[in-house]
Chains A and B, each alone.
Chain A
Amino acid sequence: MLYYLTKRLGLSAVVVCLVVLALFSLLYCIPGDPATIALGPRATEEAIARYAEKMHLDEPVWRQFLIYIGNALTGDLGLDVFSDRPVTAIIMERIGFTLALVGAGMGWAMLLGIPLGCLAAVKPNSWIDRITGVLSVGTIAVPSFLVSIWALLIFAVHLRWLPAIGAGEPGDTGDQLSHLILPAFAIGLSWVGYLARMVRASMLEVMGENYIRSARAFGLRPRRVIFGYALRVAILPTITLIGMGFGGMISSTVFAEIIFARPGIGKLIFDAVMARNFPIVQGAVLVATGLYIFVVLFSDILIAWFDPRVRESL
């Protein structure tokens, strides 16, 4: 297990380096002078020079890359070009909002999708299975930004049941939870479908296994057979999917954060790209990548913990 962990962490470090390198290259491929875009077309020469100096734009790109990597290894992600605040502090202010949103989005999708998948698998070809199938495909097909806009229009603008913008009053948990409902609903909806389909398919396969037939033959209660034996095995590919999905969801929060005007990593990256605020872009993408790798690693370890066969093969 220790060897496996070491190997995975080493691989993660390589991935992070590649992401940073790719990001660096991409940022410099964006057409237009970053200083002009960041400071506006009528910025003074002095302001442009100061910006270029802060961003190390007067250095060769390879040197900028080495400076950045060197600083990042010491935990220094640089300073925001405009406010001079540490990038790390800015990211830390926002990351909690994104994690809460992703957690809530995936959380409700799991709470609904996994039982629906089980139900559909236990009663295949029944009306429940068919309805679940239609709903699953339907929710998968609708993009999250569209759900965001519809949810906002229906529940916030028209019905006024839920708040439309922001993350809620700092320190007021109830208010913050209410502000989480619509964006979490929007980004989690398609995952209800994904999870239901995945669990159904896995469960159908597992339910045909000999050990399930044996369990039934021993007279175990159906609920125990389904949740105690079948789901425990069937859930393994779903855990991998959730791990991957968690990372994907960090990306899809961009739309929700923009539409619902929530603070978060996605919106931070979007705004920083538009303003050519490179230190923020690089820092935030680095953190998001690290987060993604951590979640995938965590899901792999979870699978190993659940499944002795995987554990023994490590």
Chain B
Amino acid sequence: MKCRGTTRRGFLGTTAALGALGLAPAWTTAAFAQTGGTLRLRIDGDNDVLDPGFMTGGTEIEAQKQCLPFLAQYARDGDTFTWEPTYFVTKLEQRDATHIDFELTEDLVWSNGYGPVMASDVKFSYERMKDSDWSGYFDALDHVEVTGDRAGTIVLSKPFAPFIMITLCHGPGAVLSEKAMAEAGGKFTTSFPAVCGPYTYEATPGQRAVFSVNPDWTGPEPAFDRVECNVITEVKAAELAFEAGELDCTEVGADTLARYTKDMPEGTDIAVAGELQYMWMGMNTEHPKLQDIRVRQAIQHAVDVDTILQGAYSGTTAKSHGIICPGLTGQRDSAGYSYDPAKARALLDEARVPGLELTLRTLNNQERMLAAQIIQANLAAVGITLNVLPLDSGPFWEMGQESKGDTWKDLELWLMRFGTTPDPYEATQWFTSDQIGVWNWERWTDVEYDRLYEEGINETDMQKRHDIYVRMQEIMENTGAYVWINHEPEAFVHSTAVGVNAAPSGELNYRRFIRA
């Protein structure tokens, strides 16, 4: 049969064209419609291990915060970070230096029929952490005493002031169902054996993780029924996805932060979670070229940190005066040295090191390389020739560690950045005497510093803690081995339709997002 005026080829062509037209509305709506109640975010990779004991961290902690109970959560008190009890507890009190009492909220139930959340679950969860990859956070834990179905006491083996702040508020402080864990074989990876929180979790590897409303949840309802976290490895790709309207919020790099700050697009805002990163230029005090403290002090005076902040970070980061980050107890107001090339030259003359040539090692990313080049120019101005040696993360993180070879012997200068939790204790732990050849690559020791480190852990008086940590940074600075550079922010760009909630270290807490 043949229709008049219609050829087979014509028919096929017309059908294909109509088919394509038919698809068009489907894809446009699928891609761009504002899906009511859905929050669209980015994660930088698959969540491989959701188990708090064996996770990598990052977005795995974000997932735990939506699906598991925590006893405490971060809060802001003006410009400083503090903690508050979560919905999961009716009581969380530090009775004395080694006892923390808690009482769980009624009607909290685990999914999959694992019954109510009990104090024994808290005991199981925290005591198992002592044998986990995150055991460091539980060093001070002795045991958890169960005093009732929903009540108990966390007993510490020694006073540890930051326990609630850095352990209970953070990922390792998640509570698991003891029964569900027993059935799961004691560990889990890509799915929770049981959840108790506003969301359930489901992931499509390589594509997304989806959080849907938990039907068993009796607590406060989250602002969004569904949270879609798309796997986007690269920050730049995520920024473009945000600009294309496909994400409601995403982390941004320094250059984009500067661009947005200067010219904020309509319907967009910036949220800064915290600035818990501290970057410095370190010097090996044992290296023959740097043994003379006058040389090190000359370098402190020779580096123009303000230019680095503008040139490498577009003015988006806070100037650092030590290792304690903004918002934390013990942050210093100023450093004990300043940019003074004349003084640097005088110190070098005094030390009699003409034609000094040094090597600066750095990770090979854009900001660090720019910072290194500025330092190179600064040092050239006072007569020091600086060679910049960019490194991949593998060799970079090993170069000061004695257990990884002999590179530490050749180490002269390096640009380093550490991240920390919202308590000063963690930042100071890497520079004690026992850290020489581990993370104290500057290789100095100080008895007073070690003593203050222990005192800081035990001290609960805020003013005394502040004084301790300020003094510790002064000791560090007086070695001449540090040029403080900056505190990079964890910054997020977001639609003004949503209010962001993030931990000071940058993990997003979807359940605490709000509709603006």
Please give the residue numbers on chain A whose beta carbons come within 8 Å of chain B beta carbons, in ascending order.
30-34, 36-37, 39-41, 43-44, 46-47, 80, 82-85, 90, 93-94, 97, 152-153, 156-157, 160-170, 172, 174-175, 177-179, 258-261, 263-264, 267-268, 270-271
Contact = CB atoms under 8 A, between A and B. Distances in A.
A165 B232 contact: yes
B23 interface: yes
B6 interface: no
24 contacts: A31-B394, A31-B395, A32-B397, A37-B394, A47-B54, A83-B49, A83-B190, A85-B189, A85-B205, A97-B206, A156-B240, A160-B32, A162-B27, A163-B244, A164-B244, A166-B207, A167-B207, A170-B204, A172-B30, A174-B30, A175-B27, A178-B23, A261-B237, A263-B205
A270 B234 CA distance: 12
A43 to B, nearest CB: 7
Interface centre among B23, B206, B246 (most CB of A within 10 A): B206
A135 B151 CA distance: 74
Q: Chain B interface mostly helix, strand, loop or mixed?
A: mixed
Interface string B21-58: 00100111011100000000000011011000010110
Contacts of A85: 189-190, 205
A177 B22 CA distance: 12
Interface size class of B (residues with CB under 8 A): 35 or more
A157 B241 CA distance: 7
B395 A174 contact: no
A168 to B, nearest CB: 7
A125 to B, nearest CB: 30
Given A36-B394, A39-B56, A166 B230 contact: yes
A167 B133 CA distance: 34
B27 A82 contact: no
- Most chain B CB neighbours (cut-off 10 Å) among A36, A165, A263: A165
Contacts of B30: 163, 168-169, 172, 174-175, 178
A53 B277 CA distance: 33
Given A163-B246, A164-B240, A167-B207, A44 B394 contact: no
B243 interface: yes
Given A160-B32, A169-B30, A263 B231 contact: yes
B153 to A, nearest CB: 27
Contacts of A33: 394, 398, 404
Interface in B83-128: none
A179 B246 CA distance: 12
A179 B26 CA distance: 12
B14 interface: no
Contacts of B233: 258, 261, 267, 270-271
Contacts of A44: 133, 135-136
A314 to B, nearest CB: 35
B243 to A, nearest CB: 5
Contacts of B135: 44
B189 A84 contact: yes
Contacts of A80: 48
A172 B393 CA distance: 40
A228 to B, nearest CB: 16
Nearest to B405: A33
Contacts of A172: 26, 30
B65 interface: no
A47 B133 CA distance: 6
A3 B189 CA distance: 49
Contact of A165 (B28, B48, B136, B241): B241
Contacts of B246: 156, 163-166
Contacts of B404: 33, 36
A306 B233 CA distance: 44
